[in-house]
Amino acid sequence: MELITHKVKEHAEYDGHAFVYHLHDDDIGFDAYIAIHRQEEMQPALGGTRFWDYDSPDDAIEDVLRLSRLMTFKSLAAGLPYTGAKGVIMLPKNKTFNREKLFAQYASWVEKLTGKFVTGTDVGVTNDDLTCMESHTSHVIGHGVDSGYFTAIGLFFAIQKCLGERYGSEVIAGRSFSIQGLGKTGFPLVSFLYNAGARLYVSDIDEKKVSIVQSLYRDVTVVSAADIHKISVDVFCPCALSGVINFSSLEEFDCQIIVGAANNQLADNILSEQLHDRGILYAPDFLVNSGGMISVVDQFLHGVADERRILTRVARVPSVLSQVFSLTRTKDISVSSALMEVLSSLV
């Protein structure tokens, strides 16, 4: 495990990160990175671990730097006392790799950080992977907590607030939604919106997930992953990977509101201003998707997650969003700029 903070200081996504580590093992074809955005005395930095097929080490470094910074802001927005961190593991090019060995090795390195970094699941990491990690480190949280479910609840609350802001009514029945990604959060979100009477368009690169949704929910329309963001709807919900709001897709959106679970939806921060100029109401991802983090932190603090405690804190999401929208109207600024003002007042 190599400390490489000094080597990434010139990276565009570097933000004075406290620690950046490179984890490497040729024997099992292993490369991973852990970034700790800020380190507070006596407090761990929290963030999930992502397992993904990155094109290059630089792509993995970019992701871990951005996501760890985002986790700091997410914690602040949720009223939690922790700083942000993130782990990313590069999917080995050798498709015959031993998954258990890989996660055991990764967990042993997490353990060597002596509690500076506490992690859980993110994209590509399963509960079985988490079980393996727990055998090699005590600094794992979230096992046994359905964080995607609580993220979806926070999104549902945020969607209602966004509808009220744009249309003057928080009623979901009759409104149209396109949902990109049917994973840990997108799947329960489909259920919540369907049962509330929404018209739904869905997509996922995993055909099995699409088939399950089709079998459970009648009248849901399946759209290709390439076109889901182009559908004419009231609300677009990106619940897959980062960067879905970029300079190309900006011209293709045909929606009034964007609110979803994906982290780092904006490929560039200036896109928040451009969405504002186009009249598209954007709900900042690190605020509205904080339900998952809230749920695993509740388990971390109390040993066992309690739904009532979690929902009480998740209810903070629409409250903060109301403050953000109020500032947006008053100052005619983007929601991202307004949210940073609101968060600054909470520090």
**Tens digits of residue pLDDT in 143-187:** 778 889 999 999 999 999 999 999 999 999 999 999 999 999 999
Split at pLDDT 50, 70, 90, the class of 347 is low
Of the residues 7, 9, 74, 86, which is catalytic?
Answer: 86
Beta pairing class for 45-46 and 117-118 = parallel
286 has pLDDT over 60: yes
For the segment 40-51, what is each residue's pLDDT rounded down to a tens digit?
887 899 999 999
* Amino acid making up residue 295: S
- Taken in order of first residue, the domains within the chain and their CATH numbers are 2-134 (3.40.50.10860), 147-290+316-346 (3.40.50.720)
Q: What is the rounded average pLDDT of the residues 51-64?
A: 94
262 has pLDDT over 90: yes
CA distance 83 to 66: 14
For the segment 59-97, what is each residue's pLDDT rounded down to a tens digit?
999 999 999 998 888 888 888 888 999 999 999 987 788
346 has pLDDT over 70: no
b/e sequence 147-162, b meaning 16+ C-beta within 10 Å: bbbbbbbbbbbbbbbb
49: Cβ–Cβ under 8 A, 6 or more apart, which residues?
A: 86, 87, 88, 89, 106, 119, 120, 121, 122, 125
Q: Which residues pair with 89 in a beta bridge?
A: 32, 51
For the segment 13-44, what is each residue's pLDDT rounded down to a tens digit?
999 999 999 999 888 888 999 999 998 887 89
Note the pLDDT of residue 291.
92
Q: Is 209 a catalytic residue?
A: no
Which of the two residues, 206 and 342, has the higher pLDDT score?
206
3-state SS string for 157-208: HHHHHHHHHHHCCCCCCCCEEEEECCCCCHHHHHHHHHHCCCEEEEECCCHH
| pTM more than 0.95 | no
Note the pLDDT of residue 63.
94
CB 73 within 8 A of CB 84: yes
CA distance 337 to 187: 30
Q: What is the rounded average pLDDT of the residues 226-244?
A: 95
Cα 142–Cα 145–Cα 203 angle in degrees, nearest 5: 100
Q: Is 96 helix (H, G, I), strand (E, B) or coil?
A: coil
Mean model confidence pLDDT for the chain: 92
Q: pLDDT exceeding 90 applies to what percent of the chain?
A: 73
If we measure between CA atoms, which residue out of 71, 73, 78, 76 comes closest to residue 291? 78
